[in-house]
A and B are shown apart, each in its own frame.
Chain A
């Protein structure tokens, strides 16, 4: 575990030793060791709730460890708050975006470090220019002067990334930065991370996508239930081995979509258009079928999903469920017609963070669970227990506020909430964002089962293996248009990426 990697001089830059942290009765970290070397990317993997984000927050100075020590460059490191971590040269991308919605994107990036001009005034021009440069480096286009409110999850993550790299940090910590990004953006992020490594920085990278882990990282540390399991060079490991260490057992085939008998068309979308966002989108989904919407970040996939469900309005076109038109811009009617939408942004649109797990899980079905207008506590609990168990939500108790769950477990609660409504048409935006391998295959099995029961499923996913494993058909979007439709046997990585980047013929 202490073997030298090429390009390092042996002495690690940042060391965590015996770090322990508990939240009440939950032991989130138990005596964890971690050594980050300058010039290296180090992956931290583990199941949902294994303690990865807790470790990140300790590195960030946001949580104080109960026990254990940290050293930076051989010197003891004591962090009394996030400001100390920054001063020590540690930049952090948190799992959940931490943006200020009312402030401009540029201010979000440079808060507390805005470039100054005479009289110590903020130099807005320089700040916007610097932000623009950062985005150029990442190869994305986000207007630095727009407010952060309303950014998609992917854009929020890109802003967080821009913020982190603007520090020129010695240690860059990234907690699932790629969870909502597609291949192209991930590649750009990795290019930036690699160049930071070349300049001597140490990178800590967290992801549930193993191809990314092995693509970027030199070393891999595995956590299980808050405890350190192993640290190895990536070249000495295989995906199967990592998974076995994470889960403690072998995990069967990852993407088991079973062939289901196709039934009548349940969801039909005709000529859906919203000026400047998407144009003339038509497709249909039959019962028993899983249709994936693929494309790059910003191609308009989530926007189409939101419009179909009625969260957003559209300018032209129509949406039919089982042959009957669903009025535009009315999610209530969409739910009544049997639609459910699992949104991409769980904090803003999926969960009430202060409420308990069981309340959140049954939020969308309150009417069915109530009698004479009174909510039946027992029925609510039973229902919540059923779904949270099926999805293996890891929580100390069902009454715990959702905010205290790990990111992946929050995602499971969102899923539970909508599956509990027993929809006919399920629209699901990034179903496994931040969910670990074990549960991911569980979610996939569940989706496959639901399709088998006759549900029509429209799935948006930025993760190509997921799309390829789950979808009966793949619809590829590029700049607001459906450019290609690929049946299962024609869909592969190349054909999808080809269409998604706007090359090749339109369908």
Chain B
């Protein structure tokens, strides 16, 4: 980015005694970068330590499994980031994933010749519909999203169970071209992970560079002020839930492609992992800050911890504890960073006279 050249001449003409903000990458942005860097370092250390103990951890197959394993969580975490940034939360994503996965299976079962892109579109649309239900209820009932989506978590899962009524869908019921989607690799990288990467890049770019993306941060940062500055808060929040539902739908289709065997319980309990990934990734639970990149890194980190504990033959019981510790560490880190920034800012109270 050429952030250095443009501002210089005016500044020279200004009455600048000392010179704050010269690092043209703004303070606000640098804070995010630090946060994401700390995640990368944590991830690097984890991989390093695990590899030292067991060098097969970095073998091709295990890396592939790892990437495959984190793709779905990454997509969900990115969708959740959109929601959390606006000071909301979507607890129904696990249920939406389950419902869409089962719907995808049923679609192939009842119409065997369906090409997989059609199934993909149908799944995403169904997810978006579920998200619209969430968004609509929140707009109408004026009840916190936490409560509404807790309700739809059970409602969507209930529909799923009713529909499945104990039956199961097997890989044999699905076209091979669709199943390949779940396991194929391009240059050694799973397609699923590539899809996740695209999602991260698109959402990350949108949140950073588009007006409506920035408005999401404004809404979460200070809802009352957002309303006063003319941001269509209701519409944006609705859209965010639709998007989160659509991403959950996409994840549901990919889930079906990857596992093939489906019952009504798919994705149960996933929502908490998703929220954990976002929080570890630096998305502030009270809204207003965080990025899609951070949330994605958080999801990768959580998945990697799972695999590396398995590789290190550590009791799965510890995995929960480690995830818990990680969330606390992430919150602590955010706090420390915030304090340091506050101190820095107070140190430069310079005003021209």
Binding site for B on A (CB under 8 A): 60-62, 81-86, 94, 98-104, 106-107, 111-114, 116, 120-122, 124-126, 128-129, 132-133, 136, 139-141, 143-147, 149-150, 152, 184, 275-277, 296-300, 303, 312, 479-480, 501-502
- Which of A62, A114, A146 is within 8 Å of B227, CB to CB? A62
Please judge, given known A-B contacts A103-B214, A145-B21, A501-B353, whether A125 and B6 are in contact too, CB under 8 Å.
yes
Interface of B is mostly: loop
B230 close to A145 (CB less than 8 A): no
Listed by A's residue number, 14 A-B pairs whose Cβ atoms lie within 8 Å are A60-B228, A101-B288, A102-B288, A107-B214, A120-B210, A121-B209, A143-B20, A146-B28, A147-B28, A149-B342, A276-B349, A298-B349, A312-B346, A502-B353
B214 close to A114 (CB less than 8 A): yes
B14 within 8 Å of A by Cβ? Answer: yes
Q: Determine the chain B residues whose CB is within 8 A of the CB of A124 once the complex forms.
A: 3, 26
- Smallest distance from the beta carbon of A139 to chain B beta carbons, Å? 6
Please judge, given known A-B contacts A114-B211, A121-B209, A133-B10, whether A98 and B224 are in contact too, CB under 8 Å.
yes
Q: How many Å lie between the Cα of A128 and that of B22 in the bound state?
A: 12
B29 close to A94 (CB less than 8 A): no
- Smallest distance from the beta carbon of B205 to chain A beta carbons, Å? 8
Q: Determine the chain B residues whose CB is within 8 A of the CB of A129 once the complex forms.
A: 6-7, 10
B156 within 8 Å of A by Cβ? Answer: no
A146 close to B225 (CB less than 8 A): no
Q: How many Å lie between the Cα of A121 and that of B25 in the bound state?
A: 17
Q: How many Å lie between the Cα of A494 and that of B116 in the bound state?
A: 81
Q: How many Å lie between the Cα of A101 and that of B214 in the bound state?
A: 13
A103 close to B6 (CB less than 8 A): no
A132 close to B6 (CB less than 8 A): no
Contact-residue bracket for chain B = 35 or more
Q: Determine the chain B residues whose CB is within 8 A of the CB of A126 once the complex forms.
A: 6
Please judge, given known A-B contacts A62-B227, A104-B27, whether A122 and B209 are in contact too, CB under 8 Å.
yes
| B20 closest partner in A (C-beta) | A143
Most buried by A among B211, B227, B229, B232: B229
A112 close to B231 (CB less than 8 A): yes
B217 close to A102 (CB less than 8 A): yes
| B227 closest partner in A (C-beta) | A82
Q: How many Å lie between the Cα of A120 and that of B29 in the bound state?
A: 20
- Smallest distance from the beta carbon of A449 to chain B beta carbons, Å? 34
Q: A107-B28, A144-B26, A149-B342 are in contact. List 4 more A-B contacts (CB 8 A).
A: A103-B218, A144-B21, A146-B27, A150-B346
A125 close to B225 (CB less than 8 A): no
Q: Determine the chain B residues whose CB is within 8 A of the CB of A140 once the complex forms.
A: 351-352
| A86 closest partner in B (C-beta) | B230
B222 within 8 Å of A by Cβ? Answer: yes
A141 close to B16 (CB less than 8 A): yes
- Smallest distance from the beta carbon of A42 to chain B beta carbons, Å? 22
Interface of A is mostly: loop
- Smallest distance from the beta carbon of A292 to chain B beta carbons, Å? 20
List B171-193 residues whose CB lies under 8 Å from chain A. none
- Smallest distance from the beta carbon of A41 to chain B beta carbons, Å? 23
B341 within 8 Å of A by Cβ? Answer: yes
A277 close to B349 (CB less than 8 A): yes
A112 close to B345 (CB less than 8 A): no
A100 close to B288 (CB less than 8 A): yes
Q: Determine the chain B residues whose CB is within 8 A of the CB of A60 once the complex forms.
A: 228
- Which of A83, A85, A103, A132 is within 8 Å of B217, CB to CB? A103
| B23 closest partner in A (C-beta) | A145
0/1 interface trace, chain B 1-16, chain A, CB 8 Å (1 if under): 0110011001100111
| A275 closest partner in B (C-beta) | B347
- Smallest distance from the beta carbon of A480 to chain B beta carbons, Å? 8
B289 within 8 Å of A by Cβ? Answer: yes
B352 close to A139 (CB less than 8 A): yes
- Smallest distance from the beta carbon of A423 to chain B beta carbons, Å? 25
B14 close to A62 (CB less than 8 A): no
Please judge, given known A-B contacts A101-B288, A102-B288, A112-B215, whether A83 and B232 are in contact too, CB under 8 Å.
yes
Please judge, given known A-B contacts A102-B288, A112-B229, A129-B6, whether A143 and B348 are in contact too, CB under 8 Å.
yes
Q: How many Å lie between the Cα of A482 and that of B7 in the bound state?
A: 35
- Which of B28, B211, B353 is within 8 Å of A145, CB to CB? B28
0/1 interface trace, chain B 284-308, chain A, CB 8 Å (1 if under): 1000110000000000000000000
Q: How many Å lie between the Cα of A275 and that of B344 in the bound state?
A: 11
Q: How many Å lie between the Cα of A464 and that of B39 in the bound state?
A: 52
| B351 closest partner in A (C-beta) | A298
Q: How many Å lie between the Cα of A297 and that of B352 in the bound state?
A: 10
Q: Determine the chain A residues whose CB is within 8 A of the CB of B42 once the complex forms.
A: none
- Smallest distance from the beta carbon of A500 to chain B beta carbons, Å? 9
List B213-250 residues whose CB lies under 8 Å from chain A. 214-215, 217-218, 220-222, 224-232
- Smallest distance from the beta carbon of B273 to chain A beta carbons, Å? 25
- Smallest distance from the beta carbon of B137 to chain A beta carbons, Å? 23
Q: Determine the chain B residues whose CB is within 8 A of the CB of A300 once the complex forms.
A: 349
Q: Determine the chain A residues whose CB is within 8 A of the CB of B227 once the complex forms.
A: 62, 82
B350 within 8 Å of A by Cβ? Answer: yes
Q: How many Å lie between the Cα of A284 and that of B226 in the bound state?
A: 45
Q: Determine the chain A residues whose CB is within 8 A of the CB of B10 once the complex forms.
A: 129, 132-133, 136
Q: Determine the chain B residues whose CB is within 8 A of the CB of A152 once the complex forms.
A: 349
Q: Determine the chain A residues whose CB is within 8 A of the CB of B31 once the complex forms.
A: 147
| A296 closest partner in B (C-beta) | B353
A82 close to B351 (CB less than 8 A): no
Q: How many Å lie between the Cα of A409 and that of B175 in the bound state?
A: 70
A122 close to B210 (CB less than 8 A): yes
Please judge, given known A-B contacts A140-B351, A145-B27, A184-B353, whether A125 and B210 are in contact too, CB under 8 Å.
no
Please judge, given known A-B contacts A103-B214, A136-B14, A276-B348, whether A81 and B230 are in contact too, CB under 8 Å.
yes
- Smallest distance from the beta carbon of B112 to chain A beta carbons, Å? 42
